[in-house]
Chains A and B, each alone.
Chain A
Amino acid sequence: MMSIAQLFFYVSAAVAVISGFMVVISKNPVRAVLFLVLAFFATAGIWMLLEAEFLALILVLVYVGAVMTLFLFVVMMLHIDWIVHRKAFVRYLPVGLCVALLTVGLSIRMLGPSHFNLANVAAPAAKPADYSNIADLGAVLYTDYAYPFEIAALLLLTAIIAAISLTHRRPKGRKQQEVSAQIAVRRQDRVHLIKMPSEKKR
């Protein structure tokens, strides 16, 4: 008899795998992004089972709430033509399918239940009722893991530099106001009074 936790795991895992597959084969990029959102939700469910509630919530808030929304904006703005890559997909399908089946088959052979069972790899001990995921994370993040944490920050800095230097264009030919010049302008620069003899209408 399957326990509720097991049922939850199998449902989440199946949803994650299927939606991951749909991300790849969807013809419409918007649909692909939405399937990616679903995959994140399913993964968050698995993390919940691992008692990593904080990470699961962060995954939903940051990835689903912020990153994927931006993704959707970009995809909609770029207006990608989605019929074009249909041909390539069919062309590479047999090879890809062979590789995928081989990898999955060998993985099951190595990681299958005969090797990866509770007798070989013991289940972690259950946490006490007042166990706090956030407290545990907070205790190690800036102490034991300070070094990797700082490197991750550097990684983000590099990503910013890379993104800006790749998209930045020189402001050549851009029309912009020069406020200081506008304020400093004198009457003489703009208006010239010219003496002219007055003309009479005939």
Chain B
Amino acid sequence: MSFILPIFSAAMPELFVLCMASLILLVDVFLPERARIITYVLVQLTLIGSFLLSAAEYRDQVEPIITFSGHYILDKLAVLTKLFLLVASFFAFIYARHYTKEHHIARGEYYILGLFAVLGMQIMASAYSFLTIYLGLELVSLSLYAMVALQKKSNVATEAAMKYFITGALASGFLLYGISIVYGVTGKISVAEAAGFLQTVSMSQQGIVLFGLIFMMAGLLFKLGAIPFHLWVPDVYDGAPTSVTLFIASAPKIAAFAIAMRILVEAMPGLVIPWTHILTVCAVLSMFFGNVLAIAQTNIKRMLAYSSIAHMGYTLLGFIAGPHSQQGYSAGMFYITTYVLVAAGAFAIIALLSKPDAEFDHIDDLRGLNERNPWLAFMMLLLMFSMAGVPPTVGFFAKLGLLESLVEAHLVWLAALALLFAIVGAYYYLRVIMYMYFEEPKRAFVGTPLSISPGVMAAISVNGAAALLLGLFPSALIDMCRISAS
């Protein structure tokens, strides 16, 4: 029997994160309480180091490399996904620092679990067999369940963690069941081999594979948080500590997009008609219910949770347009990347409003934010405009790209529906802006300007500026997505 040694250099970003995570785990144990900042700094340095390694791979590597006996792939999609999710996690940790400190969340563990989640996402981005897809997903989920529950004194957080854990375990079960059915029929665990096998099989065997695919899609849609597997989203986003919410809402979505690309587009191109039909129903329902239910929310975290369901619906449009249009998948990738950027910023602002003893996540708490901190209000304005899709912010180009590819794929009715739901959605984003600029602050807040540490303010400013600048000059990012996902 022959065995080819894997190309370890291809997996450098992951190996680096793994080594550093183990090191930080040890270092953190020996640090005294007041020197805990070292853990944070090391974690951020790890992310930067992994980013640089991935960036070098993005520059150098031309042909896809498949190694580790077909379990690992290094192609443009994997590398770009890793770059995006490392940036998103970097910002998420910056925002989390202040919040975890004030809310007495175990800080060392928070960053270490976060780092393992990042590692899981990298594994997902590079996974090329169903086995690694599942294991990467579990690594992320397990870290996230624990991170939600880390605020031990809060009953709400514990309840959210419990709900997340049980529904998440069920979704993992669905995914695994689907994988086992597909493996049972095809006998192949690798994405490429499964795709090759599907070309050769008869109709009735395709039916069995489709049955497995439906279960796999259930797991995927759960992780993305799209209808009909969305019920966990509002409860978990609302109950989790805001620093964790913004982490859940950002990087894992990009990784989930990557595995959706692998499973649907690369492994199951033979079943493209059934899965586009299923996704069409899910996308329309997500856009409709996400936007309509968000209007009724008074808690801003819940509102953003429903809005995230709607945005996932829009991302699915990219998959529906993809098979018939040149730029469908890249439009989807551009959409989810920019959404993640904007959502992280919006949750970060909510985290900044909170005090050690109280959360200010009611929509009323945003009243008159302009008087208390004009710059923060302006950043929130940019982020909300971007979510609503108002030009010249980046959200506009993301929606435009999707609609364009839908029209190109002769799905004009779907484009029209998407536009209609976007208008519905604009209402609640603009309502936030109205509260910030045209209303008086609540009596308790009058004359209390909101002061924020310069470091976090800089991060928020970069985030808000990115929403604007990527909208003014979107071509570079669009090109990157087009090269990676086509």
Contacts and interface: CB of A to CB of B under 8 A. Distances in A.
Interface stretch (A16-24, A72-80, A139-147, A181-189): A139-147
A152 B131 CA distance: 10
A177 interface: no
Main secondary structure of the interface of A (DSSP, over half): helix
A110 B146 contact: no
A159 B113 CA distance: 10
Contacts of A121: 184-185, 205, 208
Given A120-B204, A146-B6, A165-B146, 5 more contacts: A120-B205, A148-B131, A152-B135, A158-B116, A165-B150
Contact of A146 (B68, B138, B184, B210): B68
A10 interface: no
Nearest to B204: A115
B152 interface: yes
Contacts of B119: 154
A147 B146 contact: no
A80 to B, nearest CB: 15
Contacts of A115: 204-205, 207-208
B135 A161 contact: no
A116 interface: yes
A125 interface: no
Contact of B25 (A111, A114, A161): A161
Nearest to A106: B211
A107 interface: yes
9 contacts: A110-B208, A111-B181, A121-B205, A144-B69, A147-B6, A147-B72, A151-B123, A158-B116, A166-B150
Contacts of B207: 110, 115
A100 interface: no
A102 interface: no
Given A116-B208, A144-B69, A162 B146 contact: yes
Interface residues of B, number: 40
A155 interface: yes
Contacts of B69: 143-147
B50 interface: no
B116 A154 contact: yes
Interface string A154-174: 110111011001101000000
B145 interface: yes
B163 interface: no
Given A114-B204, A121-B205, A148 B71 contact: yes
Given A120-B202, A147-B132, A107 B211 contact: yes
B376 interface: no
Interface residues of A, number: 27
B306 to A, nearest CB: 23
A168 B149 CA distance: 13
B138 A155 contact: yes
The 8 residue pairs across chains A and B that have the minimum distance between CB atoms: A162-B146, A165-B109, A147-B68, A144-B69, A110-B211, A151-B135, A115-B204, A147-B71
B189 to A, nearest CB: 9
B135 A158 contact: no
Given A146-B6, A154-B18, A155-B138, A166 B149 contact: yes
A146 B6 CA distance: 10
Contacts of A143: 3, 69
Contact of A151 (B1, B112, B132): B132
A44 to B, nearest CB: 17
Contacts of B142: 155, 158-159, 162
Nearest to B69: A144
A115 B212 CA distance: 14
Contacts of A147: 6, 68-69, 71-72, 132
Contacts of B18: 154
Contacts of B353: none
A148 B138 CA distance: 12
Interface in B71-98: 71-72
Contacts of A168: 106
Contacts of B68: 146-147
A110 B149 CA distance: 40
A127 to B, nearest CB: 15
Nearest to A116: B208
B168 to A, nearest CB: 13
Given A139-B1, A144-B3, A148-B71, A162 B113 contact: yes
Q: Among A111, A114, A159, A162, which residue has the most Cβ atoms of chain B within 10 A?
A: A162
B116 A161 contact: yes
Nearest to A114: B204
A155 B139 contact: yes
